[in-house]
């Protein structure tokens, strides 16, 4: 198994631990090799939904999830998706820390 595929599996494992039980089970089923015929069209629909996130009901959250699902089958997407998810996660964590630290510091007069 390629390094990028192993990293992608670790990202999926982390995501499954963070989301509610029913969604985690669905994601686990979608990751199976036999679910390819469902995973690819669903990934494409999620990416399109993320692109049209300005419409009601659709959201930008659909884009990374769709790319993650597509990266399972499309090897050329694994590296860029891994990089984007890891870097985005690090930025989000540092943003949250900075925000938390600003809220904890006493007001300066």
Summarize pLDDT for 75-107 with one digit per residue, the tens: 999 989 888 888 888 888 898 888 888 877 666
State which H helix or E strand residue 2 sits in: none
The predicted structure's pLDDT at residue 85: 83
State which H helix or E strand residue 100 sits in: helix 75-104
The reported pTM is: 0.74
Least confident of 46-50, 67-71, 75-79, 85-89: 85-89
Of the candidates 68, 66, 61, the one whose C-alpha atom is nearest the C-alpha of residue 82 is 68
The predicted structure's pLDDT at residue 42: 94
Per the CB < 8 A criterion, the answer to whether 72 and 82 are in contact is: no
Is 23 a residue whose pLDDT tops 80?
Answer: yes
Per the CB < 8 A criterion, the answer to whether 82 and 9 are in contact is: no
Domain boundaries, the chain: 3-101
């Amino acid at each position: 198994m390629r390094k990028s595929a192993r990293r992608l599996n670790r990202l999926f494992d982390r995501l499954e631990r963070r989301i509610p039980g029913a969604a985690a089970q669905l994601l686990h089923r979608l990751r199976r090799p036999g679910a390819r015929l469902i995973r690819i069209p669903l990934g494409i629909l999620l990416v399109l939904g993320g692109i049209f996130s300005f419409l009601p009901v659709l959201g930008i959250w659909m884009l990374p999830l769709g790319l993650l699902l597509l990266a399972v089958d499309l090897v050329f997407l694994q590296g860029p998706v891994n990089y984007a998810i890891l870097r985005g996660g690090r930025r989000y964590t540092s943003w949250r820390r900075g925000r938390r630290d600003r809220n904890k510091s006493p007001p300066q007069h």
